[in-house]
Amino acid sequence: MQLVARPPPISPRYFVCRPKPHLYFLSVFGVDSVPVDLGVDSVVVDAPVVDTAVDAPVVDTALDTASDLISPDSTADSVSPDSGVDTLSADTSVDSVSPDYSGGQIIDPTGIPISTGNWGHAELAVAWGGTSFLAVWGDQRAGASAPVIYGKRIDAAGVASGEVSLSSNAGAQTEPAIAFDGTNYLVTWAQDITTNGNIYARRVSQSGTVLGTSEFLVSSSGSTSAPDIAFDGTNFLVVWTQVGSGSDIYAARVSPAGVVLDSGGIAVASIPFDQFDPAVAWGGTQYFVTWTDLRTPTAGIYGTRIDANGALLDTAGGFAISATGERPAVAYNGAHFFVAWGDVSKGFLDADIRGARVDALGHVLDSPAIAIATGTTNDLSPAVDALASTVLLVWHRTGDGNLYGARVAQDGTLLDSSAFAVSTAVGAQDWPAIAHDDTQFFVAWNDARNGPFQIYGTRLIP
């Protein structure tokens, strides 16, 4: 255990959101959050119970200054991919999930094997690049203490091929994020986060060729982690957590050529108490950045809008989306930003999945939040993406270790009254990531059906 005038909006196919791979123990006394690296083995944790006596935020659509919410302010050489890696086809060796659910179909119920080496695979992200998906992950083949970012393409038919390493530098590389600019991908990650971590990036061509002689620095401020990325039709926006006297949210724009346009970083949320785990999406005219925030006694979800020039459109520190929640994800559904999060107000071992829409003016449209999975099954770490007007959420359920999903319409209607199974393979499935092409979603995840976490995926018709 993340909303100005521009050229015509690009297709939201270039957006991707990913969950963050750390479980955070959050102090009700405002003490700094403590990330716990879960590694590749499952861990049972006795966690504190969060005070449930916290009222949900009041949404004032008129943005009265007396509202609980803060009102929006109006104001190189290439490296060819490894051709020696065998092409993988869908695995049929495990029990299948029922492929049918209301309104759609899981195309690969037993999963597509993407990287199945007998070593650990950690955090992952995925994006569509016009001809294929590119999945990237922290790969532990050289040892669990020194993961390296690897990637592999998966075509629209579900065939995986062309594995590549994105870095030749030493140091642990974790928490990748990815977006596509219409020509190339930009992959970003945190490196050496246990010592003096920085944010790095590398461009990858549509065909899977790694571009340039090495990765480049996006932020060298140190003590940085949890990057995410989106593309606005002209530049990328990379967001991350930066730790100094506290934990803050920073961002920088990066050009398609790999030039960092904001070398000192943009302070997105730098206020007392901690902010961490950002997520970002582009909505045609502006970005929306969301994060976990500890300014209240329990962790809450906050967000802010940023224009394509990197200017903040809301009051410093952003505005509240939910009084309780952690590890948000965000996507754009063609009309609004959709923010999803894990709600731990009932306790860390009984988390729910909730979501809310935010419009282009910064109004939170759903209060109380949309209840997506609210049983006693402990649902965590949602990933979210939108294909046309349909939002897809996928998350990990600790009770059985499987992945579940649900869809939400553009008007906020929950289309699946009961969550449907995305994968029920033997062993745990965790850390899902979602992207889409013109007709289907693609979900990738960490999968322990064979022992250590490997990378599997499936296509899903909405």
Has residue 427 got a pLDDT over 50? yes
**3-state DSSP assignment of residue 164:** strand
pLDDT, greater one: 35 or 432 = 432
Strand pairing category for 429-436 and 300-306? unpaired
Has residue 424 got a pLDDT over 50? yes
Amino acid in the structure at residue 370: I
pLDDT tens-digit readout, 280-325 = 999 999 999 999 999 977 899 999 999 999 999 999 899 999 999 9
In this prediction, residue 195 carries a pLDDT of 58
Alpha carbons 38 and 36: distance in angstroms, whole number: 6
pLDDT tens-digit readout, 337-367 = 999 999 988 888 899 999 999 999 999 999 9
Has residue 33 got a pLDDT over 80? no
pTM above 0.85, yes or no: no
Strand pairing category for 337-343 and 352-358? antiparallel
Residues whose CB falls within 8 Å of the CB of residue 86, separated by 6 or more in sequence, listed in order = none
pLDDT tens-digit readout, 354-409 = 999 999 999 999 999 999 999 889 999 999 999 999 999 999 999 899 999 999 99
Give domain limits for the chain. 12-40+90-461
Contact predicate 25/36, CB 8 Å: yes
What is the torsional sign of CA 300, 278, 23, 393?
A: positive
Half-sphere CA count of 36, side-chain side, radius 13 A:
13
Residues whose CB falls within 8 Å of the CB of residue 362, separated by 6 or more in sequence, listed in order = 3, 63, 71, 72, 304, 305, 313, 314, 319
Tokens (6 digits) for 181: 């600019």
Helix (H), strand (E), coil (C) string for 209-267 = CEECCCCEEEECCCCEEEEEEEECCCCEEEEEEEECCCEEEEEEEECCCCCECCCCCEE
Tokens (6 digits) for 200: 């790095």
CB atoms within 10 A of CB 95: 9
Has residue 431 got a pLDDT over 90? yes
Tokens (6 digits) for 185: 């991908």
Question: What does the pLDDT average to over 51-60?
Answer: 37
In this prediction, residue 102 carries a pLDDT of 60
In this prediction, residue 87 carries a pLDDT of 38
Contact predicate 277/20, CB 8 Å: yes
* Spatial CA neighbour of 112 closest among 59, 150, 166, 156: 156
Contact predicate 304/289, CB 8 Å: yes
Element (H, E) at 358: strand 352-358
* Spatial CA neighbour of 154 closest among 112, 118, 108: 112
Alpha carbons 89 and 52: distance in angstroms, whole number: 47
Tokens (6 digits) for 182: 């219409």
pLDDT, greater one: 450 or 171 = 450
Alpha carbons 357 and 333: distance in angstroms, whole number: 9
Backbone angles phi, psi at 349, to 5 degrees: -105, 10
Contact predicate 352/370, CB 8 Å: no
Query: Partners of 186 in the beta sheet?
Result: 179, 203
Percent of the chain with pLDDT strictly greater than 90:
66
Has residue 265 got a pLDDT over 90? yes
Q: Cα–Cα distances in Å, from 442 out to 13, 88, 414, 445? A: 11, 16, 20, 10
Question: What does the pLDDT average to over 23-40?
Answer: 35
Residues whose CB falls within 8 Å of the CB of residue 27, separated by 6 or more in sequence, listed in order = 33, 294
Has residue 88 got a pLDDT over 80? no
* Spatial CA neighbour of 311 closest among 68, 75, 53: 75
Categorize the per-residue pLDDT at 90 as very low, low, confident or very high, splitting at 50, 70 and 90: very low
Half-sphere CA count of 280, side-chain side, radius 13 A:
34
Q: How many Å separate Cα 53 from the centre of its chain?
A: 29
In this prediction, residue 96 carries a pLDDT of 35
Question: CATH number of the domain at 12-40+90-461, out of 1.10.10.60, 1.10.357.10, 2.120.10.30, 2.30.130.10?
Answer: 2.120.10.30
Has residue 163 got a pLDDT over 80? yes
Has residue 449 got a pLDDT over 60? yes
Find the Cα–Cα–Cα–Cα dihedral 153, 137, 250, 27, rounded to 10°.
Answer: 140
Contact predicate 384/330, CB 8 Å: yes
Residues whose CB falls within 8 Å of the CB of residue 370, separated by 6 or more in sequence, listed in order = 354, 355, 356, 408, 412, 414
Biggest CA–CA distance in the chain, Å, is: 63
Query: Partners of 153 in the beta sheet?
Result: 134, 161
Instruction: Tell me what the pLDDT averaged over the chain comes to.
Output: 82
Whose structure tokens read 């009102």? 71
